[in-house]
Amino acid sequence: MLRPLGLGDLLTGVPALRAIRAAVPGHRLVLATTEALRPLAELVDAVDEVLPARELESLRWAGPPPELAVDLHGKGPASHRVVAALRPDRLLCFGSPGYPGPVWHPDEHEVARWCRLVTEGLGVPAHPDALDLAEPPLPPLVRSAALVHPGAAYPSRRWPADRFAAVARHLRAAGHDVRITGGPAEVGLAREVAEAAGLGEEAVLAGRTTSLELAAVVAAARVVVSGDTGVAHLASAYRRPSVVLFGPVPPALWGPPRRPQHVVLWHGDVHGGTGDPWGTTVDPALAAVTVDEVTAALEHIVALRATPRPGAVPDPG
C-alpha cells in the first residue's frame, strides 16, 4: 500500500487501509510511507509493517511479489509504476493510460476518494469515519491543554500570526492552559505567537516534541485550533474538539468528519472556489476568517464538553 506523503495524507488514508485489511484479513499488510511518518503509521491497527519510501521513488522491497498492491498515492502512471514494479498478482489503482481502474473525481473528499477505490476494487465497504488512531505508548507532555497551531506548509494556508495570538489570549483569559505547537521549522512563528499572547516560553511546544509526543499531546488536548494541516487531522483521529480554518482548499475536499466537536470556518465565496494551496501569500478565503469567528466557535465547542472516546480517561475539566 503506497502512501509516502504528509501527515494529513497518512491520516486521511486510514479508513481505506482498514477496508483493505477487511478485504484480505489473512494477509500481511505493508504500508510504504516516509520514514518520518513511521512512528504514527505504526499506530494504525491495519498495518503490519512499515516500508520506508519517498514520493515517486522506487521501493526497496526485498520480499516476493505481493499478491495485491494498492496505489493510495495518486491518479496517474507516475505513482502506478512504483507499485507495478513490484510485479504484484493484482494492482489496484485509479484508471489512467495503461492502468485500468475506477474513475478519479477531482471534486471528491480525500477520505471518500480512497474509500471508494477500495470499495469498487475489492468489493468491501469502507467507512470514511473510521479515522481513529491508537494513542501513542507514552504519556503526554501536557494534558487538557488548549493547543494553538499557527503553522502550515505554505504561506497561503497560514492565518496571520497576530490573529492566532489574539485567539491564544482569549483562551488564556478563559482559564485554559494554552500551548503553541509546531514543527522544528516553526519555532520562530510559535514564539512570536506566544509572546504576542502574553505567554511564557514554557507555552511553546514547537520544536520540543517528536511526532509521537505531538500526537500524545493532541490526544489529551482540551481543544485544538489550527489551519488546514496535519494537526487538524490528528484532532479528528483522536476525536478532540477542534476549530479548523480553511483556505485556499475547501473543507469539502479536506475537512474533518461531520461531528459536533469539529467546527470548520471557511469563506470560499471570496474567490469562488479553490485557491492556490502552494501560494506565497495568505489566501483571501483564509484571510476573511475573523478572530471573533474563531473565539465564538471555541466557546461553542468547549461548552459542548465533547463525548470522550471509548476507553478514554474522562476529562476532569
Q: Do residue 173 and residue 291 come from a single domain?
A: yes
Maximum separation of any 2 CA atoms in the chain, in Å: 60
Q: How many domains does the chain have?
A: 2
Distance CA 141, CA 146 (A): 13
> Residues with Cβ < 8 Å from 187, sequence gap 6 or more?
204, 206, 207
Q: Do residue 179 and residue 96 come from a single domain?
A: no
Range of the domain at 161: 146-304
Q: What is the pLDDT of residues 146-192, one digit of tens each?
A: 999 999 999 999 999 999 999 999 999 999 999 999 999 999 999 99
Q: Do residue 194 and residue 279 come from a single domain?
A: yes
Residue 311: pLDDT above 70? no
Query: What is the arithmetic mean of pLDDT over 5-11?
Result: 96
- pTM here is 0.93
Q: Do residue 65 and residue 170 come from a single domain?
A: no
66 DSSP 8-state letter: P
Q: Which CA distances in Å does 201 have to 102, 208, 211?
A: 51, 12, 20
Query: What is the arithmetic mean of pLDDT over 43-49?
Result: 97
Q: Do residue 151 and residue 298 come from a single domain?
A: yes
Q: Do residue 152 and residue 292 come from a single domain?
A: yes
138 domain-assigned: no
CATH no. for residue 116? Answer: 3.40.50.2000
| Lowest-pLDDT choice from 45-49, 65-69, 248-252, 300-304 | 300-304
What's at 55, amino acid-wise? E
Distance CA 59, CA 83 (A): 8
> Residues with Cβ < 8 Å from 163, sequence gap 6 or more?
290, 291, 294
pLDDT cut 90: percent of the chain above it: 91
312 domain-assigned: no
Query: What pLDDT shows up at residue 274?
Result: 78
Residue 144: pLDDT above 90? yes
Query: What is the arithmetic mean of pLDDT over 285-305?
Result: 90
315 domain-assigned: no
pLDDT cut 70: percent of the chain above it: 94
Q: What is the pLDDT of residues 251-268, one digit of tens each?
A: 999 999 999 999 999 998
Q: Do residue 107 and residue 182 come from a single domain?
A: no
Distance CA 44, CA 7 (A): 13
Q: Do residue 281 and residue 150 come from a single domain?
A: yes
240 domain-assigned: yes
E strand residue ranges, the chain = 30-33, 49-52, 68-70, 90-92, 146-149, 178-180, 223-227, 242-245, 262-265
pLDDT band (50, 70, 90) for residue 302? confident
Residue 108: pLDDT above 80? yes
Query: What pLDDT shows up at residue 205?
Result: 98
Query: Which residue carries 469539529 as its cell?
Result: 262
Q: Do residue 180 and residue 271 come from a single domain?
A: yes
Distance CA 266, CA 256 (A): 13
Query: What pLDDT shows up at residue 317?
Result: 35
141 domain-assigned: no
Average pLDDT, the chain: 93
The alpha carbon of residue 261 and the mean position of all alpha carbons in its chain are separated, in whole angstroms, by: 16
Among the candidates 60, 90, 122, a domain finishes at 122
Q: Do residue 298 and residue 151 come from a single domain?
A: yes
Residue 62: pLDDT above 60? yes
Q: Do residue 175 and residue 98 come from a single domain?
A: no
